[in-house]
Every structure is written in C-alpha cells, then in structure tokens.
C-alpha cells in the first residue's frame, strides 16, 4: 500500500487508502462516518424519538429550527430588487426576488421599452387593439346583448364569434361600438366574410 495516498478520516481518525485523483475531495473512510459527521443530521435523528411521523410534530420541528438558528446554510446573499430585503439563494439560480409576491410585482413593471424583447414598437395598431382589454370587453358586451345566439342561423352557445357589421379595417372609429357588432357562429362568420371580400374587392 502506498502511504503517500493514505488519508486520515475526520470522524474516526482511522487511516485509509485513497486514489490519487480523489485526494482533497474525500475526507471520510466510509459513508457511515460521512453521514454521522453532519451535526444537523444528528439533530434530526435525535428529534425523531422512534416516531415515524416525527416531521409532523411541532416540538421536533422547533428543536431542529433552534439548532439551525444562526448557522450558515450556504448559498449567495442577494438583495431583492422589489423590497430590498436580503435573502440566500443557490449560486446557480438567477433569482432576483425573495418571494413570488415580489417576483410578480417586479415583472409586472418590466413592459414596453423596459422589456428585453422590445424592438421599438413594431406591433401594428390594429393588432394592439385586437389583443387589448377594450376589444375583449366589446366582444363580451356583444355576446350578452345577443344572449349568445347566432344572428344568422339561431344557434345558441357553442363556438361563437363577435363580428363587425362595418369592417374593422375600414371603420376605425366604429371598432368598439356595440351597435356595430353581432354574434355569429363560425360557419356563418365565414360565409359573411366571403360576401364582404367580394363586395370590397
């Protein structure tokens, strides 16, 4: 046995052989010594007291909490970008907030020019209006006025769409006018679109 490759176990002080590539990494002669050397594991095992549901007992949780109080659990100390509170996180994580509440508040502010995907406002106006809350409110108002009934075939419910009597593209002032809308099923909407295309082109 090459004595140059021998190490002393930090737990039982026993001398053991180690491969040259593992020198400085492995400080214990066995898994038993490695696990028993961790004090926090001992605190948990002592708090069980033969109870299978030890983790549910508040006194066991309190003993472990008191033992770990003030101990360094590792991780990087970061500052929350929303509330400024300091918290610990894994070095590999890119978290910038201490909680879900702070995270949702932080990302709700990152929009428009502050967003990383901002390209100078290239989205056309008609797409912005179709995706906006105003359009959704207009559509709901049209459905409720027509009692969710197709105005052509009389179908109630199902897949319905809100259609503009005067085309959305040619009458921008009437886009959100409830009187300019009607409820149609998908089939009737397609037929009306074909007729509108023939008239306009």
Task: Classify residue 3 as exposed, middle or buried by CB count within 10 Å of its CB (0-12, 13-18, 19+).
Answer: exposed
Compute the half-sphere exposure of residue 143: CA atoms within 13 Å on the CB side of its CA. 15
pTM: 0.44
- 166 vs 104: CA distance, rounded Å: 40
- 82 vs 87: CA distance, rounded Å: 12
Residue 5, Cβ neighbours under 10 Å: how many?
13
Q: Find the length of the chain.
A: 201
Phi and psi angles of residue 33, each rounded to the nearest 5 degrees, phi first: -65, -40
Q: What is the pLDDT of residues 91-116, one digit of tens each?
A: 677 788 888 899 888 888 887 787 77
Q: What is the pLDDT of residues 138-180, one digit of tens each?
A: 999 999 999 999 999 999 988 999 999 988 888 889 999 999 9
Looking at the chain, the whole-number percentage of residues with pLDDT higher than 90 is: 21
CA angle 134, 135, 141 (to 5 degrees): 90
Distance of CA 121 to the CA centre of its chain: 26
């Amino acid at each position: 046995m090459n004595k140059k490759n021998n190490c002393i176990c930090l737990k039982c002080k026993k001398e053991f052989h180690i491969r040259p590539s593992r020198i400085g990494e492995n400080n214990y002669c066995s898994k038993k010594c490695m696990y028993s050397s961790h004090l926090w594991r001992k605190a948990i095992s002592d708090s069980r007291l033969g109870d299978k549901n030890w983790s549910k007992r508040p006194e066991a949780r309190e003993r472990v909490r008191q033992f770990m109080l003030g101990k360094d659990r590792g991780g990087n100390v970061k500052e929350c970008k929303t509330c400024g509170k300091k918290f610990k996180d894994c070095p590999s994580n890119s978290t910038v907030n201490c909680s879900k509440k702070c995270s949702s508040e932080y990302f709700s502010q990152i929009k428009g020019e502050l967003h990383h995907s901002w390209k100078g406002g290239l989205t056309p106006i008609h797409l912005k209006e179709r995706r906006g809350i105003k359009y959704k409110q207009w559509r709901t108002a049209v459905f409720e006025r027509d009692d969710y009934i197709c105005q052509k075939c009389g179908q109630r419910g199902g897949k319905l769409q809100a259609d503009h009597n005067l085309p959305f593209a040619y009458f921008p002032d009437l886009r959100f006018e409830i009187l300019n809308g009607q409820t149609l099923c998908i089939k009737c909407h397609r037929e009306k679109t074909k007729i509108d295309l023939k008239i306009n082109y």
